[in-house]
Chains A and B, each alone.
Chain A
Amino acid sequence: MLSLRQREQRQAWVLLAPMLLVMLLLTAWPLLRTIWLSFTDAALIGSSGTAPGWIGVENYLYALTDEDFRTSLWRTLYFTVVSVAVEGIIGVLVALLLNQQFAGRSLLRVLVILPWALPTIVNAMMWRLNFNPDYGSVNALLTQTGLIDHYRSWLGSPDSALNAVMFADVWKNYPLVTLLVLAALQSIPEDLYEAARLDGASAWRRFRAITFPAIAGALSVALVLRTIDAFKIFDIIYVMTRGGPVDSTKTLSFYVYQESFSYLRAGSGAAYAILMTLLCAVLITLYMLLLWRQRRRGSAHEN
């Protein structure tokens, strides 16, 4: 005869089991298997792997001395830091604007959602067309307004390709920051500002003392989420530049993809993937801590 407590425990696990099993099969197990692959010289021949041989940490040693890998790591960090910083700044500014009173505000709030909802691949394709060197709208607009004097090959030159891709990424993703920050802004009671005004606090002081502390939590969640996503960037690169020209847009995900599926070196591709995952794990841990803290404070926040 089971005690009530044991019965409860059993019920809890029964309800949970299907979801956990599916997650273990589709994520935990593949991850362990990738770790194992990373210590082998497995190859993808045609469509089936050959029997891989164990080579220990050789893949990792190779990765650490691989110039190309280091370069794409720095490139990925540049992409991540700069685009997330810009998304953060624009995102907060637009959220502050949308929190003001003006005619057409609710329409603008809907408009800002659109880039976020646009499928990633459509966004990449759209900007690829816009940046077209011969008849793209970016060239047309900039020459017709006199900002540049001749058509440029934005995605075709190593100096500008990565920045053009980042532009497309920022355009699509700053709304995520805006939406999360705006939600936090709307929870600030108006009388706080009234009181601050009566005390003669300047606009900057009001922002620092009231607005910023209120949005800090939402902003950090948004920025960490964006950082994790930017670090993994692949889709937009694949469509806009395929890692080119001259590897100038080859980010980590793209590098790993090529290693595994173009050069068919599954073993070393796996090692790169694991190194990338370790770097990502730092960010993911940070995000989990944020969520954990938010939930602990959640009950206090909801009133």
Chain B
Amino acid sequence: MKIKLRTVAKYAAALLVAVSVLAPMGWLFLMSVSATADLTRVPLEWMPRQWDFSRYGRLLSLTPGEPGTLFLHALGNSLLVASGATAICLLLAIPAAFSFSRYRGRDGWLFASLAIYMVPPVAFVLPLYFLLQQLDLLNTRPGLMMVYCSLILPFLTWMLKNQFDTLPHDIEQAARLDGLRVWQVLLRITLPLAKPVLGAAALFGWLLAWDEFFYALLFTSNIAAQTLPVTIAGFTAGRATDDGLIAAVGILASAPPLLIAIWLQKTLVSGLASGGSKG
């Protein structure tokens, strides 16, 4: 009997957790496919009387006057900025992580870079603003890419260093004795071995950039460089009375990170522990 009770409690708790996660997100999706009249009905009927996917069509069309013009630009900016920043950071973080891992005695720098990455962005934002202004990079995608490097670099370096630490050194040393240079060893031996984590770490960095809002809000001013989070915040605060449309934008903006997270399940934890949190 006691065993039975435990089992019931277990399944009840599991159901509660599942519903609490799925209900708000499910409702967001239902909103995006319900007619506005259904959404504003009191009492609310929850299920749409008619499934209406037309908002997604409008968001994905470049016809002038449609919300798609705003949305697709922001989507393009987000993709480009996140991918560009991640690519630059990989180029910088791989040699740095290799150095931290193979040559002892500089860990202070690694900890310092991780520590400063956690300082509130309000402490950097004014000088960065002036810097971008002087370089003529305000409201540009390269400007945002540059700023995002400060977010992605520290923990990408940290994750890669931890990975390099677990690889065997003796092959590398043998290769060095055979006359290979350091960068040849890194490219031909170490990187191929670290490949699985390399991809995961890069995606992690990509997620951080995809999610960033504060700098994007202050350093962009129109569709030339505005990323999705800024556009969503604008939609939400605007006079757009169609909540279903806002919900549809949210669904589309969430699809890439949700898929990546499901795919990365296994490596997620090591990334999280190295400070890859998304406030």
Contact = CB atoms under 8 A, between A and B. Distances in A.
A233 B115 CA distance: 18
Interface stretch (A61-69, A194-202, A207-215, A276-284): A276-284
B257 interface: yes
Given A23-B153, A27-B119, A130 B258 contact: no
Contacts of A179: 268-269, 272
A22 B153 contact: yes
B154 A260 contact: no
B28 A238 contact: no
Given A135-B39, A180-B272, A126 B24 contact: yes
Contacts of B99: 11-13, 15-16
Interface size class of A (residues with CB under 8 A): 35 or more
A276 B133 contact: no
A12 B214 contact: no
A125 interface: yes
Chain B interface mostly helix, strand, loop or mixed?
helix
B52 to A, nearest CB: 17
A135 B39 CA distance: 7
Given A19-B96, A37-B126, A277 B153 contact: no
Contact of A260 (B126, B211, B260): B126
Given A129-B246, A183-B269, A274-B123, A118 B43 contact: no
A25 to B, nearest CB: 8
Interface string A31-47: 10110010000001001
Contacts of B93: 19
Interface size class of B (residues with CB under 8 A): 35 or more
B120 A120 contact: no
Contacts of B13: 97
A161 interface: no
Interface string B29-50: 0010000000111111010000
A9 B277 CA distance: 33
B275 interface: yes
A49 B125 CA distance: 13
B254 interface: yes
Interface in B246-270: 246-247, 250, 253-254, 257-258, 260-262, 265, 268-269
A93 to B, nearest CB: 8
Nearest to B36: A135
A9 B228 CA distance: 44
Given A23-B154, A111-B18, A291-B111, 5 more contacts: A12-B99, A12-B106, A104-B14, A122-B253, A239-B236
Interface of A: 8-9, 11-13, 15-16, 18-20, 22-23, 26-31, 33-34, 37, 44, 47-49, 94, 97, 100, 102, 104-105, 108-122, 124-130, 132, 134-135, 137, 140, 143-144, 151, 171, 176, 179-180, 182-183, 218, 221, 225-226, 228-235, 238-239, 242, 253, 256-257, 260-261, 266, 269-270, 272-274, 276-277, 280-281, 284-285, 287-288, 291-292
23 contacts: A16-B106, A26-B128, A27-B150, A30-B126, A31-B119, A102-B10, A104-B14, A110-B265, A114-B21, A119-B254, A121-B213, A151-B42, A171-B20, A171-B24, A179-B272, A221-B273, A225-B275, A229-B277, A233-B279, A239-B232, A274-B123, A276-B120, A280-B118
